[in-house]
Structure 1
Amino acid sequence: MVRILRSLVLLVSLGWSSLAAATVDITFHSFDGSVLGGRYPHAFVSMEGTLEDGTAVKENFGFSAKRATIAVLRGPVEHMILVEDDKWLNRTNRHFKLSMTDEQYREVRDMIEAWRNAPGRYYDLKTRNCIHFVGEIGRIMGLKVSYPKKLLRKPKSWLNHIMTLNPALGPSPID
């Protein structure tokens, strides 16, 4: 009986410790793009792991114009939240990864839904593009963020810039 009780206590404590150790990692990506390949440069995030309640998370989000037309150069256009297929996800530059609290995860998801459901033409190449979207997620994660004008169409260079603003992120910028 004592042995069964000890085993039960061990199983319960292991279960609680695995819940306490639950975490979701958020990775900040850029995609170089290629006019010939049909893709433009892009920044986005992916999230993967387990929330404290045991919910598994494996998702990614970016922000884009609904249609890639010349209208993007003239001002605000219709927008969408872009979810990358695995084939594209595996071809990205992975700049850095952070661990999220459940509260940060919920705040990021709320922000994503707010951008998804924004009325009217919400995508603007100069003021509200994929870089601004990822930047707002970075702020939620506690990062220092800025948007130098010369980097607003260069997701990889911009994420490298964010790394220089936040030296604790570690690795060197991506060439």
Structure 2
Amino acid sequence: MSRLVAIILSLAALGWSLPAAAAVTMSFHSFNGSVFFGRYPHTFVVLEGTLDGTGQKVKENYGFTAKTVSTAILSGPVEHEIVVEPDKYLTSTNRHFSVTLTDAQYRQVVAEMKAWRDAPGKYYSLDNRNCIHFVGKMAQIVGLKVDFPKKMLRKPKNWLNHITALNPRLGAKQIN
């Protein structure tokens, strides 16, 4: 037994420690937007961290939008795409709250993103399947309470503030 104690003490003396817990964090962002500056209000998710099971580093973000912005959006579904925002853009957005994902939830988020990205035909609808609905699905994957009030379907920041209020356990504050 004394040999085991000596080994443990030696490892402790060398600064040995258990590996840090790995985790992927998903943050929920909005962009205020402006018709005059060519960027409409938008919401998207940012995933950062390390997967527990593999040690794989994660640094991704996904938003759902119309492939082409035109007046056709006002009359029904249009072609869609998943957009990835450049790092420099992320600093000018509103980060509303973040949650920690399990590896399984991370895989679900990626699978859901791919399902939206790869859906055939015209899948983006301003009132029925827009960036808010996409981010809402991501929030549901991690167990957040989500709803889609009609008056907020074109107001991503207001909608994320609403989701913040529906989920007080997040401890997040609303953004003005």
Of all paired residues, the percent bearing the same amino acid is 59
> What CA distance in whole angstroms lies between the structure 1 residues aligned with 2:170 and 2:30?
16
Write the deviation string for residues 48-96 of structure 1: whole angstroms up to 9, x where unpaired: 0000111000010000000010001110000000100112111001000
Residue matched to 1:142: 143
Paired position in structure 2 for 1:154: 155
Alignment-derived partner of residue 88 in structure 2: 87
| Change beyond 3 A, Cα 1:4–1:135 | closer
Output aligned runs, 1:47-66, within 5 Å: 47-52=47-52, 53-66=54-67
Task: In structure 2, list runs of 5 or more residues that go unmatched.
Answer: none
Aligned residue in 2 for 1:30 = 30
TM-score (norm 2): 0.91
State the partner residue of 1:98. Answer: 99
Aligned match of 2:76:
75
How far apart are 1:171 and its partner, in Å?
Answer: 2.5
Report the RMSD for the aligned CA atoms in angstroms.
1.9
Aligned partner of 1:7 in structure 2 is: 11
Larger radius of gyration: 2
Question: Runs of 5+ in structure 1 lacking a partner?
Answer: none
Alpha-carbon distance, 1:104 to partner: 0.4
**Number of paired residues?**
170
Inter-partner Cα distance in structure 1 for 2:121 and 2:82? 14
Task: Name the residue aligned to 2:128.
Answer: 127
Secondary structure in structure 2 of the residue aligned to 1:60:
strand
Aligned mates of 1:151, 1:57 — CA distance in 2: 31
Shift of 1:143: 0.4
TM-score (norm: length of structure 1): 0.91
